[in-house]
């Protein structure tokens, strides 16, 4: 590993490369995991690219809900591509090393897209709330201009988080251990590894988690409480069943994203109790981007109709 001189007056050197932990040392299991994650990545790419293409090509899907879905598909595509290809190389070829610059790039990019997704999910929940609870106001509240502001704001907040996390990372000094017990560069793991003062990094991490993650989750929860309350007042039993089924699917997708994030970043715990971090991270970095096109779109009648019309044109 390449090193350069570290803090002034110290014999310590600064690591220029980190080692990312694998999932197992067993060769047979490694091959199985590689094929499993490769399949998930291919489904993720095809599913999200397919949704983006379909939404752009079909006039049926030119509405606020699908505008948000198209952006969510793009974010899922980016999140998966930031993490999964590097993980696949590590699983198959056991190339566990990642440069300091590569780690910084992952921290920035992941920080950007994970917060963007938080606010896109919040915007989608609010969109459904207005559509179900205040349908007469929907054309005014969810106008193209307002939707554009919501999406632009989501990306800007994500960018602010990415820059903040990168600044927090750049203030850290790594002297002894450079092994990260995860398959990507995660700021919370790096904070625990640092041999320097981690106050600034911890403040940035906790502040961004609290000020960005928690409010977006609250918007989702409050919106769905109001939606479910409105649905329960519907007289038709069949109408209730269909609406509740749709809400359950959306809340399941939100849970697979927010649940692991809360577990990773908002629940205080000691280093010895972090055994589940790796698989929690797999959920929101690898699995959720694959599930979202199915949960949010493929069960939707409008999407199926748009797909049938597109096939007829061809």
Sorted by where each begins, the domain ranges of the chain are 17-308
Q: Which residues contact 311 (CB under 8 A, 6 or more apart)?
A: none
- Percent residues over pLDDT 90 in the chain: 26
For 100, phi then psi, to 5°, come to -60, -45
Residue-wise pLDDT for 82-132, tens only, equals: 989 988 888 777 667 788 888 889 999 999 999 999 999 999 899 989 988
For residues 48-69, give the mean pLDDT: 86
Q: Report d(CA 274, CA 264) in Å as an integer.
A: 9
Structure-block tokens of residue 250: 């959306």
Task: Please name which of 73, 4, 23, 66 lies closest in space to residue 45, comparing C-alpha atoms.
Answer: 73
Mean of the pLDDT values across residues 55-80? 88
State pLDDT tens for residues 230-284: 888 877 777 677 667 667 667 777 877 887 777 776 665 555 445 556 777 888 8
**If pLDDT is split at 50, 70 and 90, which confidence band does 40 have?**
very high
The single-letter DSSP state of residue 14 is E
Whether the per-residue pLDDT at 224 is higher than 50: the answer is yes
CATH number for the region 17-308 comes to 1.20.1070.10
The angle that helices 64-93 and 144-170 make with each other, rounded to 10 degrees, is 30
pTM for the model: 0.86
Read off the pLDDT of residues 155-195 as tens digits, 9 standing for 90 and up.
Answer: 999 999 999 888 888 777 776 557 777 888 888 778 877 77
**Does pLDDT of 223 surpass 80?**
yes
8 A C-beta contact, residue 37 and residue 285: no
């Amino acid at each position: 590993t390449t090193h350069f001189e570290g803090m002034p007056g110290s014999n310590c050197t600064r690591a220029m490369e980190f080692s990312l932990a694998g999932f197992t040392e067993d060769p047979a299991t490694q091959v199985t995991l590689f094929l499993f994650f490769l399949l998930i990545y291919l489904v993720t790419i095809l599913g999200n690219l397919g949704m983006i293409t379909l939404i752009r090509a079909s006039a049926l899907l030119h509405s606020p809900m699908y505008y948000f879905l198209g952006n969510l598909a793009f974010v899922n595509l980016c999140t998966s591509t930031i993490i999964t290809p590097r993980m696949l190389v590590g699983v198959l070829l056991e190339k566990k090393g990642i440069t300091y610059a590569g780690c910084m790039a992952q921290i920035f990019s992941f920080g950007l897209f994970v917060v963007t997704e938080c606010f896109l999910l919040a915007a989608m929940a609010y969109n459904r709330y207005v559509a179900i609870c205040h349908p007469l106001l929907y054309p005014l509240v969810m106008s193209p201009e307002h939707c554009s502001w919501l999406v632009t704001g989501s990306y800007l907040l994500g960018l602010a988080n990415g820059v903040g996390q990168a600044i927090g990372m750049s203030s850290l000094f790594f002297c002894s251990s450079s092994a990260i017990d995860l398959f990507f560069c995660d700021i919370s793991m790096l904070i625990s590894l640092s041999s320097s003062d981690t106050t600034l990094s911890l403040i940035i991490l906790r502040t961004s988690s609290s000020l960005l993650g928690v409010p977006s989750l609250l918007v989702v929860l409050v919106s769905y409480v109001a939606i479910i309350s409105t649905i329960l007042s519907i007289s038709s039993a069949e109408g209730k069943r269909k609406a509740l089924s749709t809400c359950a699917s959306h809340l399941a997708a939100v849970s697979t994203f927010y649940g692991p994030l809360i577990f990773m970043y908002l629940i205080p715990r000691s280093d010895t109790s972090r055994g589940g971090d790796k698989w929690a991270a797999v959920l929101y970095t690898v699995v959720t981007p694959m599930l979202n096109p199915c949960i949010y779109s493929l069960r939707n009648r409008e999407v199926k109709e748009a797909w049938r019309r597109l096939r007829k044109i061809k």
